[in-house]
Each structure stands twice: as structure tokens, then as C-alpha cells.
Structure 1
Amino acid sequence: MQIIKLDATESTNTYLKELSAKKEVQDFTIITTENQTSGRGQLNSKWESERGKNLAISILKNRINIPVDRLFLMNVCVSLSILDSLNRLNIPNLKVKWPNDILSGNFKIGGILIENIISGSKIKRSIIGFGLNVNQSEFKNAPNASSLKKIMGHDFNLDSVFYAIIENLHQQLNRPILTFENELYKQYHSQLFKIGVKSNFLIQKEEPIEGVIEGVSKNGKLKVKLENGSLQEFGLKEIRLQY
């Protein structure tokens, strides 16, 4: 494990991707920064973060023996590992919102962005990005955002939270996770936000629908039972949960 701490960078994922393109980077190299100026989420959404208050982490994981059609298993494993770390800090009402958000109650406290390098039919390596709101108190452009401090009422030691998360991730990602696929999905569904609850969604060109989340397929699609009783699967760009 190698940890590289930066004073500032636009994106830890981008920095690690460019670094690994220039030279051989050892397994589980970690980039972290106090100031991520252009953090990204899914679909190039912006991640609002105040300097020195939060965690921005990217991890290079080599030698991943997972087929391309099972790549969402990385999201499942990373999400569960982070939830476990935060549970140990007594953060309440933790859930994972498909596909990549970590919630406490109805508030987003963290986000995951995994970028995979594919070789043939398998994932060659992954860059696992994770942002966690820790000590930030105000969010100007993210009304659904919160932080560990806002939820718990006190500051957290950033280093302690950082090492708790990466040590847990290191342990979990060094297992042959494909072997535990069914078990991991079972755990993931038990922590999935709004599963089994009638909810409102937007699909296609902002068309509203109602349905119930039944789970996530092994190729990473959200399974929703619609009002007419049909069960449909939706990809990342095809549906948005309203909450």
C-alpha cells in the first residue's frame, strides 16, 4: 500500500489515472487531497467540497479477476465496505442509494466513482474514487447533502476516518469477491435505499412514474416493479429516483 497526499488537485481519480498511464503503479496505491477542486460524480456531476473539511480518495486496484458483465460487483463490494466503516463510527440510518451514493437518512454524505480499465472480457484494474463529507457544515448547491459533523454534532479526525475506510477496503478487496457474489448482493439489497417501498421516478425525458425497487441485477441495472405489475430493468442514464 502506498499513500500519496496532495495539497490540491482537480480530481484524485484523474490524477491517479494519469499517473498509472505514465508508469507502473503498485497495487492499492492511494491518492488523497485536502482540496479537490473539480471532483466528479456519476455522469460528470460536480462534487461540492470545502478545503480541509472532507475526504477525497482514489485507490488503484490491480489484478481484478472479474468479467466485464459483473463489473457492478465492485460497486457492491466498495459500498458495503464503506457502510461497515461508517457503522463502526456510529453514523445512523446508513443506506446505499443505487448506483453510487452513501446516505444517512435522506441525506447524501458520500459518493463513489469507479472507473475500470478493461482487457478483453475482464477488468484489468479499477480506479476507485470516494468522496465523504466529514466536517463541512454548509452546502450551497446540494440541498440533499449532509456530513458526519452535521449528523453527529461534532468534528471528526480526518486521518482516523481515512484510515478506518482504507483499511477496511484493503481487506475486502483482497478477497476473491466473485466467489462471494451472491452473499455480497444479499447484503447490498439489505442496505439498498427505498427497496420494497413505493417511490416516484423520472424516466426517459423526465417522464414521471411510480414503482417499487425490487433490487439490482448482477449487471448493475435497477429492477423496478411498475404499477402495471411488470418488472423492468433500468440502466444508469435511464431512471432517476425522486426523494
Structure 2
Amino acid sequence: MRIDKLHTIDSTNDYLKRISKEENAEEDIVVWALEQTAGRGQMGTQWQTESGKNLTFSVFRKVKRITIDEQFYALMAASLAVKDVLSQLLIKNVRVKWPNDILTDNDKICGILIESVIKGGQLDAMILGVGLNVNQTQWENVPRATSIKSRTGIHFELEEILSLLLKRFHHYVDLLLKGEFNTIKNDYEAHLFKKDKPATFLSVDERQFVGIIKGVSESGKLLLQEENDVVNEYDLKEIQLLY
């Protein structure tokens, strides 16, 4: 596996998209930046991080055995890898807030962004971006942020955390390539934030309503039980969990 360590870059995902296309990459590539000037999350949200204190990296991985319809499984695999490492570091109450945030208690400690590389109408590769709060302890106007150091009181070497994450990520991707989709999905659903508990949601038309998270669909939509026990599917752009 090739690892490129950079001081400053706009976005590790964007950088990987450029170089993987230019080099017609076949091997796994990791790009780790000490500072991102345009790091982002799902739907274009910005990732706020202090230079050199957190882990911001992206992974390019060929996934020709996974179809376009199955690409959400890669996000589930990445979420579980982060969850495993945080639990290994004795972070308590680690949960996945659908679809791509990792929380401890109610505070966000990690965000994940996954982008597809399509060739000839087929899924060719995935670019997985991870922003993990490691040693930062203060944020401006971000009330529900936390970090590994905030939770443990311990300063960690970023390279050590990166190594742990990559090992777990490749473990779960190997499961996917072996067809262990149910194993991944069941584990992901077991760690969903607010699963099987009444929670308040906001729809695109600004309507608040109560529902119960039951799981996710094969394509990654949220399965929400509402009135009369009817279970509806929602995409990321259609609903927001209020907590």
C-alpha cells in the first residue's frame, strides 16, 4: 500500500481523484494531510480542524466485485472500522449516526465521506475520506464536537491511529469482497445511533415528526417506523435527525 503524506492540501478526496485518474491507479493509495483547506463532508458541509492535531486522510481502493447498488456497504465498512478503533482506545458509547458520522455519547468525533469512481457504467473504485478528531480539544461554534484526547486525556500519535484504522478498514473491505454483506449490515445496524428509540426528525418541508429507526435499506436509505407502524425509506437529502 502506498501512503502519501502531505503538509497542506485542498481536499484529500479531491487530490486522490486527480492522481488516481492521472496515474490510472491500480494499487491502494492513502493520502494523509496535516491540513486541509477545503475538507468537506456529506452534502458539501465543511470539516473544521486544527492543523496537525487531527487525522484527515483518504483511501483509494479498487472494488470491482462490488456493484454500484452495493456501494453503501463500503461506507458501512468504514464506519465499523472507525468504531472498532475507538472502542479499542476505550472510547465509550460509540455509535454511528446515519449515514456517516461517528458519535460518542451525543458528540461527533468523526465524519466519513465516500465517493465512487465509475468506469464504463460500472463501479471501479471507491475513494473514502475520513476526518477523525484526535488531539484537538477546542472548537469554534461547534457545540457537539469531541476528540480522542478530550475523552481519554491522552495525546496520540496520528500515525499510530492511522495504522490502526487502515488495518480495520481493510479487514472489513476483505469481508465485502468475500460477499459477507449481511455481516457488515447487521453490525452497522446494531450500532446505529437512536436505533429502536423514538426520535425527532425534520423533513425537507420543515415538518418535524417522530419516528423510530429500524435499520437501513440495501442502498443505504434510512428505514423509519412512523404512525400506524408503517416503515418508510428516506434518503440523506430528505430527512434530518434532531438530537
The CA deviation at 1:154 is 2.2
SS in 2 for 1:174: helix
User: Any idea what SS the aligned residue of 1:155 has?
Assistant: coil
Superposed CA offset, 1:121-142 (max 9, x none): 5311000100100000111132
Cα gap change, 1:178 to 1:224, in 2 (>3 Å): farther
Please tell me the residue identity of whatever aligns with 1:62.
K
Q: Residue 55 of structure 2 corresponds to which residue in structure 1?
A: 55
* Residue 132 (structure 1) aligns with: 132
Q: Which residue identity does 2:14 align to in structure 1?
A: T
Residue matched to 2:238: 238
Query: Does the 8 Å CA contact 1:67/1:121 hold for their aligned counterparts?
Result: no
**Cross-structure match for 2:199:** 199
Contact 2:212–2:225 (Cα < 8 Å) also in 1: yes
Match runs of 1:3-82 below 5 Å: 3-82=3-82
Are 1:170 and 2:170 counterparts? yes
* Distance across 1 between alignment mates of 2:104 and 2:156: 16
Q: Is the CA contact (8 Å cut-off) linking 2:31 and 2:58 kept in structure 1? A: yes
Q: Distance in 1 between matches of 2:213 and 2:231?
A: 9
| SS of alignment partner, residue 126 of structure 1 | strand
CA contact (8 A) 2:196 2:214 kept: yes
Deviations 1:13-51 (A, max 9, x none): 011111112112242200001111111000000000000
1:118 paired residue number: 118
**Percent identity between the aligned chains?**
39
How far residue 107 of structure 1 moved from its aligned partner, in angstroms, is 0.5
Partner letter of residue 27 of structure 2?
D
> In the aligned structure 2, how far is the partner of 1:63 from the partner of 1:90?
32
Query: How far apart, in 2, do the equivalents of 1:2 and 1:10 lie?
Result: 20
Give the superposition deviation at 1:88: 1.2
> Structure 2 stretches of 5 or more lacking a match?
none
CA contact (8 A) 2:8 2:34 kept: yes
**How far apart, CA to CA, are the structure 2 residues paired with 1:171 and 1:70?**
18
> How many angstroms does 1:69 deviate by?
1.4
Residues 6/206 of structure 1: CA separation in 2 closer, same or farther (3 Å cut): same
Are 2:189 and 1:186 equivalent residues in the alignment? no
Write the letter of the residue equivalent to 1:65. R
Alignment-derived partner of residue 161 in structure 2: 161
Shift of 1:191: 0.6
Q: Which runs of 5+ in 1 are unaligned?
A: none
Q: Check whether the contact 2:134–2:156 (CA below 8 A) recurs between aligned residues.
A: yes
Three-state SS of the structure 2 residue aligned to 1:116 is strand
Q: Cα offset for 1:225?
A: 0.7
1:103 is matched by which residue type in structure 2?
A: L
